[in-house]
Chains A and B, each alone.
Chain A
Amino acid sequence: MSFFQKLKESVQQKTETVTQKFMTGLSKTSHNFVSAISDLFSRTNRIDEDLYEELEEILIGADVGVKTTIDLVERLREEVKARKIKEPAELKSLLSEVISEILKRNEQEQHLRLNEDGLTVILFVGVNGVGKTTTIGKLAHRFKNEGKKVILAAGDTFRAGAIEQLETWGQRIGVDVIRHQAGSDPAAVIYDGIHAARSRKADILLCDTAGRLQNKVNLMEELKKVHRVVQRESPGAPHDVLLVLDATTGQNALVQARQFGQAVNVSGIVLTKLDGTAKGGMVIAINHELNLPVKLVGLGEKADDLQDFDSDQFLHALFRDMIEAEEGNS
């Protein structure tokens, strides 16, 4: 069975709607990326330096990043040699295989770590405007639908209107929001959030934090303090520290992952705004260089525009055109 067939079967086993959502969200992405690659493979009939160089550009153009791209292409070269591949077309399948390997490396870590017998605390961190608050709204909506009792903590006391933004989400989906005044100590809000969640017997506490650039020492210290408070007030917590990344971000995403990772021990990534035209190649770079699993993806602004990350679906959507082309040939 070819790699593409395997991919397809794996995707078919998953629910239709989820796949659909992924496909619409990623259709633009997939189209640009894939047509560029298909184009490249059908144009050339020899595997040569130019081909590798163009491939390199396509991957870089998808924000895979220079280092990961060079590594990927290096792997391709080795495989081509080892397997004595001559046809450019065979490179297609090989490339997605190599990428898939990277994405699957952290697969077992991909699910949210829920605390089965007690309160689960999830902390959301990231730079400004990436989608932290919106993701919290979406995730609260999901948990609520699963019948869980959810509480939100308005830990962004800095940005104008941030508390009200979270409260609006709370009202929209019908969950409580713990808040203090604007300008107050975020660690104190989170502290209250934990105690409120416990006394109200909530299952899930989602903690919002203010957006901050990773190079601001003081703001990162503030975040560490919030993290420490969570650790202290609720043993075993935070169960997840999710770094929210905007898919339109370039190479700085890796710096973000590294710095936030060091500061508050990030356990996973939420990749937002994949409904745009950004290619999402960062997912590959992040897995490759930092071994941080992508747990969730944001595919829009509405409450149900959130999905678990699934590498098969991701790849399938990314290489859809190619899969169809291969079927047409056989």
Chain B
Amino acid sequence: MAFEGLSERMQSIMRKLRGKGKVTEADVKEAMREVRLALLEADVNFRVVRDFVNRVKERVVGQEVMRSLTPGQQVIKVVNEELTQLMGGERSKLNQALRSPTVIMMVGLQGTGKTTSSGKLARYFQKQNRRTLLVAGDVYRPAAIRQLEVLGESLDTPVFSLGDQESPVVIARRGVEKAREEGFDYVIIDTAGRLHIDEEMMGELRKIREQVSPDEILLVVDAMTGQDAVNVAESFNQQLGLTGVVLTKLDGDTRGGAALSVKAVTDCPIKFVGTGEKTDALEPFFPDRMASRILGMGDVLTLIEKAQSAVDQEKARDLERKMRTLTFTFDDFLDQLQQVRKMGPLEDMLSMLPDVGQMKGLKNVQVDEKQLVRVEAIIRSMTPQEKSHPEILNASRRKRIARGSGTTVQDVNRLIKQFNDMKKMMKQFTQMAKGKKKKKRGGFRFPFMS
């Protein structure tokens, strides 16, 4: 993350305040300045920020917030609540046609991810056993039709195309007709990316809309969009009447303030978010999570969900027992490692953690995937006996392992040391659990964190 989270900034302000006893108006002003900067750094449009900060200020000043014991936390709470509220409060569903097919039109600037999102939506419906017809309406960008066809093939979903010589208006109309005749549940019209100020191209979208009366007109917005997001969204909305937004590329490390800007100017709910290049990477939008992300407070909920789905409960219990009885071996270690990796790239996970207080140490953690691979290779080069009885690992065995895994003896030594440290730590934990020792914080590191 390139920027400090709001939580951290608030904490540093509040540290300064501590001991002063009373929070003054000037203090509120400074806190609000931090809120403002945090939002601006997250790319929320400055006008949207101005309105937002004023609203929050009213609530903060009018309330007990500043007299509470933890004013910093309280301010963040109010900000978070207001943000969540502004982004729609609850999840919002897709409109359904009374009679099938439900017609969805994808629109947006160039390169935002309309075609990929069309494929992902088709996949999403497929998982609900619904049939989708994809319509190739981008006749301008070279090979755009081909892109949709390849996606369709990989999803076993038909793609309707009339080549790139026919007008997109005709293609859309004929596509919807076909979907109706053949009893499809959904028809998704992919359109070419265009600038909102390109009158001719915007006129084309209006014509398509007139021809096919879509149930959904989804604006596809790149989560990395800057201040211009308001102009784009406002303009598309005025010219077409949007029904929703798809926010793409959220698997990047942007804070995604555009989400807030777009919602504020169009009042259209964000219905889906794109979180990867694969067709499965489409998720419903959760305003509360987005709020935390914009504020740099991490996405703890998502992290927990990911952990729950990836970690085998059975294995977890098993591991817990081994930790208790201190019979943890290199096999278990490897197992652990693989479970962690199943949760996705480690950096993605770390970026979901909040930057709050005690977690601070984690912020500087650099996950080295190469290091991970090395650790795996070393363990795999051990014999079963060595794995379960690491104490037999003498110098010649270590040398053999290093050669077998393409690493150095130092690498092997380091891993063994870390493994032993980990075991020691577990001993402390177990004793801690039994109430023998005082709780000890920090110090624990997986070997792949440097």
Taking Cβ atoms with an 8 Å cutoff, the residues of A that contact B are 28, 57, 60-63, 66, 127-131, 137, 158-162, 164-165, 167-169, 172, 182, 213-218, 221, 246, 248-255, 258, 273, 275-279, 282, 301
B312 on the interface (CB 8 Å rule)? no
CB-defined contacts of A277 to chain B, threshold 8 Å: 195-197, 228, 231-232
Partner of B113, one of A62, A63, A128: A128
Q: How far is the CB of B205 from chain A (nearest CB, A)?
A: 16
CB-defined contacts of B347 to chain A, threshold 8 Å: 215, 217
Contact B249 A165 (CB under 8 A): no
Q: How far is the CB of A14 from chain B (nearest CB, A)?
A: 26
Alpha-carbon distance between A328 and B3 when the two chains are bound, in angstroms: 44
Partner of B225, one of A62, A213, A250: A250
Q: How far is the CB of B117 from chain A (nearest CB, A)?
A: 11
Q: How far is the CB of A292 from chain B (nearest CB, A)?
A: 16
CB-defined contacts of A275 to chain B, threshold 8 Å: 195
Contact B253 A248 (CB under 8 A): no
B252 on the interface (CB 8 Å rule)? yes
Given A128-B249, A160-B147, A301-B110, 20 extra CB contacts under 8 A? A60-B46, A61-B46, A66-B41, A131-B111, A160-B151, A161-B146, A161-B149, A168-B143, A169-B142, A215-B251, A221-B369, A248-B222, A248-B226, A249-B226, A250-B224, A250-B254, A251-B255, A252-B252, A273-B109, A273-B110
Q: How far is the CB of B252 from chain A (nearest CB, A)?
A: 4
Partner of A62, one of B111, B154, B227, B255: B227
Contact A248 B351 (CB under 8 A): no
Smallest CB-CB separation from A65: which chain B residue? B41
B266 on the interface (CB 8 Å rule)? no
Alpha-carbon distance between A173 and B367 when the two chains are bound, in angstroms: 44
The bracket for how many chain B residues form the interface is 35 or more
Alpha-carbon distance between A289 and B436 when the two chains are bound, in angstroms: 53
Q: How far is the CB of A261 from chain B (nearest CB, A)?
A: 13
Partner of B252, one of A127, A158, A221, A276: A127
Smallest CB-CB separation from A69: which chain B residue? B40
B101 on the interface (CB 8 Å rule)? no
B2 on the interface (CB 8 Å rule)? yes
Considering the complex of A and B, which 6 residue pairs feature the smallest CB-CB distances, nearest first? A250-B226, A129-B111, A161-B147, A168-B142, A250-B43, A160-B150
Contact A129 B113 (CB under 8 A): yes
CB-defined contacts of B384 to chain A, threshold 8 Å: none
CB-defined contacts of A28 to chain B, threshold 8 Å: 197
Alpha-carbon distance between A179 and B84 when the two chains are bound, in angstroms: 47
Smallest CB-CB separation from A217: which chain B residue? B369
Alpha-carbon distance between A203 and B225 when the two chains are bound, in angstroms: 37
Q: How far is the CB of A64 from chain B (nearest CB, A)?
A: 9
Contact A218 B225 (CB under 8 A): no
Alpha-carbon distance between A216 and B46 when the two chains are bound, in angstroms: 30
Contact A217 B141 (CB under 8 A): no
B345 on the interface (CB 8 Å rule)? yes
Q: How far is the CB of B284 from chain A (nearest CB, A)?
A: 21
Alpha-carbon distance between A249 and B231 when the two chains are bound, in angstroms: 13
CB-defined contacts of A249 to chain B, threshold 8 Å: 222, 224-226
B45 on the interface (CB 8 Å rule)? yes
Alpha-carbon distance between A128 and B347 when the two chains are bound, in angstroms: 19
- Residue contacts A-B, CB under 8 angstroms, 5 given: A159-B147, A217-B367, A248-B232, A252-B254, A277-B232
CB-defined contacts of A61 to chain B, threshold 8 Å: 45-47, 227
Partner of B227, one of A127, A164, A276, A279: A279
Which residues of B123-152 have CB atoms within 8 Å of chain A's CB atoms?
140-151
Smallest CB-CB separation from B3: which chain A residue? A251
Q: How far is the CB of B450 from chain A (nearest CB, A)?
A: 14
Partner of A127, one of B141, B145, B148, B224: B224
Smallest CB-CB separation from A64: which chain B residue? B227
CB-defined contacts of B318 to chain A, threshold 8 Å: none
Contact B195 A164 (CB under 8 A): no
Smallest CB-CB separation from B2: which chain A residue? A255
CB-defined contacts of B320 to chain A, threshold 8 Å: none
CB-defined contacts of A182 to chain B, threshold 8 Å: 150
B298 on the interface (CB 8 Å rule)? no
Known: A127-B252, A276-B197. A63 touches B224 (CB 8 A): no
Smallest CB-CB separation from A210: which chain B residue? B277
Partner of B43, one of A128, A167, A251: A251
B348 on the interface (CB 8 Å rule)? yes
CB-defined contacts of B110 to chain A, threshold 8 Å: 129, 131, 273, 301
Partner of B111, one of A217, A221, A246: A246
Q: How far is the CB of A298 from chain B (nearest CB, A)?
A: 10
B191 on the interface (CB 8 Å rule)? no
Alpha-carbon distance between A37 and B283 when the two chains are bound, in angstroms: 41
Alpha-carbon distance between A158 and B147 when the two chains are bound, in angstroms: 11
Known: A213-B251, A214-B252, A248-B109. A278 touches B228 (CB 8 A): yes
Contact A276 B228 (CB under 8 A): yes
Smallest CB-CB separation from A57: which chain B residue? B46
Alpha-carbon distance between A220 and B233 when the two chains are bound, in angstroms: 32
Q: How far is the CB of B38 from chain A (nearest CB, A)?
A: 10
Alpha-carbon distance between A131 and B196 when the two chains are bound, in angstroms: 18
B258 on the interface (CB 8 Å rule)? yes
Interface centre among B42, B142, B154, B348 (most CB of A within 10 A): B142
Alpha-carbon distance between A127 and B370 when the two chains are bound, in angstroms: 22
Q: How far is the CB of B231 from chain A (nearest CB, A)?
A: 5
Q: How far is the CB of B307 from chain A (nearest CB, A)?
A: 19
Known: A216-B345, A252-B253, A254-B2. A129 touches B222 (CB 8 A): yes
Contact B232 A214 (CB under 8 A): no
Smallest CB-CB separation from B145: which chain A residue? A161
CB-defined contacts of B2 to chain A, threshold 8 Å: 251, 254-255, 258
CB-defined contacts of A165 to chain B, threshold 8 Å: 141-144, 146-147
B257 on the interface (CB 8 Å rule)? yes
B37 on the interface (CB 8 Å rule)? yes
Contact A248 B46 (CB under 8 A): no
Partner of A251, one of B41, B50, B142, B147: B41
Which residues of B160-209 have CB atoms within 8 Å of chain A's CB atoms?
195-197
Alpha-carbon distance between A158 and B142 when the two chains are bound, in angstroms: 16
Known: A60-B46, A129-B110. A217 touches B224 (CB 8 A): no
Partner of B253, one of A128, A158, A160, A215: A215
Contact B111 A128 (CB under 8 A): yes
Q: How far is the CB of B137 from chain A (nearest CB, A)?
A: 15
CB-defined contacts of B151 to chain A, threshold 8 Å: 160
Smallest CB-CB separation from B195: which chain A residue? A276
Smallest CB-CB separation from A300: which chain B residue? B195
Alpha-carbon distance between A61 and B3 when the two chains are bound, in angstroms: 18
Alpha-carbon distance between A159 and B41 when the two chains are bound, in angstroms: 31
Alpha-carbon distance between A252 and B252 when the two chains are bound, in angstroms: 9
Q: How far is the CB of A181 from chain B (nearest CB, A)?
A: 12
Q: How far is the CB of B258 from chain A (nearest CB, A)?
A: 7
Smallest CB-CB separation from B231: which chain A residue? A277
CB-defined contacts of A218 to chain B, threshold 8 Å: 345, 369
Alpha-carbon distance between A158 and B150 when the two chains are bound, in angstroms: 11
Alpha-carbon distance between A249 and B254 when the two chains are bound, in angstroms: 10
